[in-house]
């Protein structure tokens, strides 16, 4: 039995939904916000903001949110593909990043600890086998490694 640390299926769905909706809303309201900012006397680049605020043709009411939606989806793909996922089993830890998979045999691992948001997996002779951010709480990381008997060194 393995324990997986990283984004869950629900997390990935929320990332896609929020990024795409956020992009659509952001580009949808850009002309109104730009025009409002251009009218404020203390905001620099008033002419450029007025120009952006003038981009308010009827067809752009559909085009801007559509482009924002696509940009949000692209950003969501980048975020999800850049994730590091750890599959912790009794005999090995499998690290997945995009389409790359790396297996660390249990015999290679001498210690596991957290430093900020990063999970550090140390090997023999002080070699760092893994030191990246993993989307999981401190408690989830500790539980995953200790449940499989790995030497976990953080509190």
> Based on the domain organization, do 97 and 118 belong to the same domain?
yes
- pLDDT of 90: 92
> Based on the domain organization, do 11 and 74 belong to the same domain?
yes
Q: How far apart are CA 129 and CA 153, in angstroms?
A: 15
Q: Which domain holds residue 88?
A: 84-147
> Based on the domain organization, do 76 and 12 belong to the same domain?
yes
- Would you say 92 and 82 are in contact if contact means Cβ atoms under 8 Å apart? no
Domain CATH number, residue 103: 2.30.29
Among candidates 64, 60, 76, which has minimal Cα distance to 25? 64
The series of mean pLDDT values per 10 residues for the chain, 155 residues long, is: 92 97 93 84 83 80 92 96 94 93 94 90 93 92 93 84
Last residue of a domain, one of 58, 81, 104: 81
- pLDDT of 48: 83
- pLDDT of 61: 82
Flag whether 121 is in a domain. Answer: yes
> Based on the domain organization, do 15 and 68 belong to the same domain?
yes
- Would you say 78 and 15 are in contact if contact means Cβ atoms under 8 Å apart? no
- pLDDT of 43: 81
Flag whether 155 is in a domain. Answer: no
- Would you say 153 and 111 are in contact if contact means Cβ atoms under 8 Å apart? yes
> Based on the domain organization, do 25 and 71 belong to the same domain?
yes
Last residue of a domain, one of 29, 55, 81: 81
- Would you say 107 and 151 are in contact if contact means Cβ atoms under 8 Å apart? no
Last residue of a domain, one of 61, 81, 101: 81
- Would you say 128 and 120 are in contact if contact means Cβ atoms under 8 Å apart? yes
> Based on the domain organization, do 63 and 89 belong to the same domain?
no
- pLDDT of 14: 97
> Based on the domain organization, do 74 and 93 belong to the same domain?
no
């Amino acid at each position: 039995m393995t324990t997986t640390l990283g984004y869950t299926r629900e997390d990935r769905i929320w990332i896609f939904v929020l990024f795409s909706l956020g992009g659509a809303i952001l580009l949808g309201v850009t002309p109104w916000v730009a025009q409002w900012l251009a009218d404020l006397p203390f905001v620099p680049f008033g002419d450029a903001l007025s120009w952006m605020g003038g981009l308010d043709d009827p067809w752009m009411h559909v085009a801007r949110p559509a482009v924002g939606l696509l940009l949000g989806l692209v950003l969501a793909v980048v975020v999800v593909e850049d994730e590091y996922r750890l599959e912790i089993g009794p005999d090995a830890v499998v690290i997945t990043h995009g389409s790359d998979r790396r297996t660390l045999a249990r015999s290679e691992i001498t210690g596991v600890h957290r430093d900020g948001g990063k999970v550090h997996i140390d090997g023999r002779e002080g070699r760092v086998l893994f030191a990246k951010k993993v989307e999981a709480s401190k408690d989830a990381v500790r539980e995953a490694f200790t449940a499989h008997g790995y030497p976990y060194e953080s509190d």
